[in-house]
Chains A and B, each alone.
Chain A
Amino acid sequence: QKEVEQNSGPLSVPEGAIASLNCTYSDRGSQSFFWYRQYSGKSPELIMFIYSNGDKEDGRFTAQLNKASQYVSLLIRDSQPSDSATYLCAQRVNYQLIWGAGTKLIIKP
């Protein structure tokens, strides 16, 4: 069974620090990964996607993909209280998304 695993948290990070969120996957077949952010009571929204080994940067966000170790990371630099949310990792398999359960991130002022 294809699985995407995330630590449920909560992960507590001081404001201004780097938040590091991790995700592991079992299916080596597809190498497209997505990070969605979901505020409490709201719907998921896409932050980044990555499909090449290495790093991809977009503003304060960096996604990292390590195919050999089968993990994907999301780094958030200069964390802000508005970054407090649940972060969902997803892997695209056969045009569908397999979702992790999400990691709850809390940024403390």
Chain B
Amino acid sequence: NAGVTQTPKFQVLKTGQSMTLQCAQDMNHNSMYWYRQDPGMGLRLIYYSASEGTTDKGEVPNGYNVSRLNKREFSLRLESAAPSQTSVYFCASKPGQDSYEQYFGPGTRLTVT
């Protein structure tokens, strides 16, 4: 039981390049989340998926897109990377919207030069 997995662990992009961050969970959870974490700031919600087939914007969605591919997988795409998107990205999941605990993946450290 791997929990929440994320790939890649590290990535360096040049401004304007695109990439997709992958997230998968094997806990049969309905809800999935993408956060970014910057130094001195709390986790900020980018997008979330309350259940398979639905996605919604969070606090900071600009410059990102998401796909809930199936119940297990939730990907985050940067279409044209900018230095302001340099951050650590965490994927999380929980059984349902009413559930208390979110389970986090190990994170992806992204640098945009």
Which of B43, B48, B101 has the most C-beta atoms of chain A within 10 angstroms of its own C-beta? B43
Per-residue CB contact flags for chain B residues 25-49 toward chain A (1 = under 8 Å, else 0) read 0000000000000001111110010
Per-residue CB contact flags for chain B residues 86-113 toward chain A (1 = under 8 Å, else 0) read 0000100000011011101111000000
Say which residue of B42, B45, B48, B105 sits within 8 Å of A43 (CB atoms).
Answer: B105
Q: Is the interface of A mostly helix, strand, loop or mixed?
A: strand
For residue B50, CB closer than 8 A to chain A, the reply is yes
User: How distant is A75 from chain B, measured CB to nearest CB, in Å?
Assistant: 20
A-side interface size class = 20 to 34
- Please, which residues of chain A bring their CB within 8 A of the CB of B102? 46, 97
- Distance, CA A100 to CA B105, complexed state (A): 19
Interface contact B58-A88, CB-CB below 8 Å = no
User: How distant is A107 from chain B, measured CB to nearest CB, in Å?
Assistant: 22
- Distance, CA A45 to CA B58, complexed state (A): 21
Nearest-neighbor residue (CB-CB) of A41 within chain B: B107
Say which residue of B40, B48, B106, B107 sits within 8 Å of A96 (CB atoms).
Answer: B48
User: How distant is B87 from chain A, measured CB to nearest CB, in Å?
Assistant: 14
Say which residue of A34, A43, A99, A102 sits within 8 Å of B44 (CB atoms).
Answer: A99
Residues of A at the B interface (CB closer than 8 Å) are 4, 8, 32, 34, 42-46, 49, 88, 90, 92, 95-102
Residues of B at the A interface (CB closer than 8 Å) are 40-45, 48, 50, 58, 90, 97-98, 100-102, 104-107
Given contacts A42-B106, A95-B98, A99-B43, could you give 13 more A-B pairs where the C-beta distance is less than 8 Å?
A4-B42, A8-B40, A43-B107, A44-B104, A46-B101, A49-B101, A90-B42, A92-B100, A95-B97, A97-B43, A100-B42, A101-B41, A102-B42
